[in-house]
Structure 1
Amino acid sequence: MYVKTVEMHTGGGPVRILLSGFPKRKFETLLEHRNYVREHLDHFRKALILEPRGHHDMYGVIIVPPTLPNADIAVLFMDNSGYSTMCGHAVISMARYAVDHGYVKTLKSPETKVDIQCPCGMVSAYVKYDGTKTGATRFISVPAFVYATDVELPMKKFGTLKVDISYGGGFYVFISAEKLGLDVRKTKLKDLVQVAGDITDVAKEHIKIEFPESKEQAFIYGTILTDGRDSNIKATSINLCVFADRQVDRSPCGSGTTARMALLYHKGLIGLNQSRYFQSSKTGSSFSSKIVRDTTSGGRKAVNVEVSGQGFYLGTSTYTLEVGDKLGHGFSIK
């Protein structure tokens, strides 16, 4: 193995972009490509995301050939357990990278549009550009919708919990940490992760997600603990997203923010083009968001959500794998 990467972050959430050394293949759909990579090329993810090159909460992106003619760039997302369908914090960094590295033919000020093909669908991003330097990014989500509200989950520690499930490129369970006797800001992270991970496990066991438009996306990706401040739209609210194999998002979670905005809109707590800010409980990083239009998804009422943030460059890396290095293939210690 000999690969090169660019290292970025959005709101503290790492974005390791695989640039070279990865086999280039063409597929009819991006989801087919995702399946092939999962089944035949997963050793790249393990080597780059897990230790010793990565860590339990590392996140990465593979640039692949688009399958849609209007896409400027196509990406696959990597986490500690597999391949997600959407990642907002990664899209924010990737859009800036795409503008800076020639994936967009025509650069425009004050913003340059980038059409990014993600496994969940096409995501249009807009990168600030002053003619010399790129900056903050906003993206418009795929149709986001509420899947179910007040779903009852039988939890050993808490009894029956009522949770909401919403989609923003991936399906998330939402619950206020206060309902669990926890403080999303002050409670120890390991305790929050334990509870959120347990909720995800129980939700996967008891809830069958039906998503006829894309059966590949019909799974619960994680649980987002909030501070419960839903009704005061002027207040910055907290997200703590625990996803994949109990991986913690350092950012407020872009796809989670999308899903939460759809949930707030569904409950009548926010209107079109009303801005709301969300913050990570542990890093303090924030995203701004607003619902830009009503739409539909498979007959469901849905919305398109705009999420804004800033991606930053950290450096570049070259990774190799020596013959005989068994641990170099990637390992995980929990």
Structure 2
Amino acid sequence: DVPSGYIESFAKIDNGNVESIRFQNVPSFVQSLDATIDIPEIGSVQYDLAFGGAYYAIVNVDQVKLKCTEQYHDALIDKGMRIKHAIMNSVEIKHPIEPEMNFLYGTIFTDLAQDSTNHSRNVCIFADGELDRSPTGTGVSARAAIHYKRNEIKLGESITIESILGSTFSVKIDRAIEYGKYNAIIPQVTGGAYITGINTFFINPDDPLKDGFIFNKELI
């Protein structure tokens, strides 16, 4: 159960070792293709707007004269946030089912893959200026919806997308569905996951706050 809905995840195991993880994502769809917006200090930017668990503006990185590589990370964040705020201030975003999703989460810059066996590379600038080290699961889902809408990939077809660090996610279109007013897809995302630490919490019966506390009653 995640903020965008319910997903199922699976592990591929070989000889007791997890080789990869995949998850079936929420309905993903395109709100608009080839939209344009004028942004001070950048100029006219063409973008696609799509949902893959969150809303993203997808922009070819050539438009901002950068590359999706490590040396440009600061500039990518700057341009990504400028684009995000400009679109947020001028475009209505309305999810057909989940009103809490009615906001633009980030900008995804796309680029040519550095490994010729992969489809492409992208960098997601999200939230308040974070840069995702991964290809972004919700982001590649949104991109799959765009490529399907453009008839660039078919049902059952998988593409592999690189991150800024060269790590990859594969995304496959599992099926097409109707979702509100949209023709949507159910994408399946595959990647790697690794344990980096273990944490242990203790509850002391004498702790007066052992059951926790909350000030924002709207969260209850």
Q: Does TM, scored on the shorter chain, surpass 0.5?
A: yes
Q: What amino acid maps onto 2:178 in structure 1?
A: T
**2:156 paired with 1:237:** no
* 2:66/2:72 contact within 8 Å kept: no
The one of 249, 261, 266 aligned to 2:144: 261
Q: Which stretch shows the higher mean deviation, 203-212 or 257-266? A: 203-212
How far off its partner does 1:318 sit? Answer: 6.0
* 2:111/2:121 contact within 8 Å kept: yes
Q: What amino acid maps onto 1:311 in structure 2?
A: A
Counterpart CA distance in 1 for 2:176 and 2:72 is 38
Counterpart CA distance in 2 for 1:304 and 1:234 is 24
Partner of 1:277: 160
The one of 90, 102, 105 aligned to 1:218: 102
RMSD after superposition: 2.1
Q: What amino acid maps onto 1:260 in structure 2?
A: R
User: Against the structure 1 CA distance between its residues 235 and 212, is the aligned structure 2 distance closer, same or farther, given a 3 Å change threshold?
Assistant: closer
Question: How many percent of aligned residue pairs carry the same amino acid?
Answer: 31
How far off its partner does 1:130 sit? Answer: 4.7
Counterpart CA distance in 1 for 2:68 and 2:193 is 25
Partner of 2:29: 145
Counterpart CA distance in 1 for 2:189 and 2:108 is 17
Q: What are the residue-to-residue correspondences of 1:1-334 with 2, within 5 Å?
A: 117-130=1-14, 132-185=16-69, 187-227=71-111, 235-281=118-164, 283-317=165-199
For structure 2, the 5+ residue unaligned runs are: 202-220
Counterpart CA distance in 1 for 2:146 and 2:62 is 18
How far does the alpha carbon of each residue in 1:229-280 deviate from its partner, in whole angstroms, 9 at most, with x for none? Answer: 7xxx964310100100110110000100000010011011111112211011
Counterpart CA distance in 2 for 1:206 and 1:318 is 46
Counterpart CA distance in 1 for 2:128 and 2:82 is 11
Counterpart CA distance in 1 for 2:95 and 2:23 is 23
How far off its partner does 1:125 sit? Answer: 1.1
Q: What amino acid maps onto 1:218 in structure 2?
A: N
For structure 1, the 5+ residue unaligned runs are: 1-116, 320-334
How far does the alpha carbon of each residue in 1:280-324 deviate from its partner, in whole angstroms, 9 at most, with x for none? Answer: 12x1110111111111211310001111011101112469xxxxx
Q: What amino acid maps onto 2:139 in structure 1?
A: G
Off by >6 Å, runs of 4+ in structure 1: none
Q: Secondary structure at the match of 2:141?
A: helix
Aligned length: 200
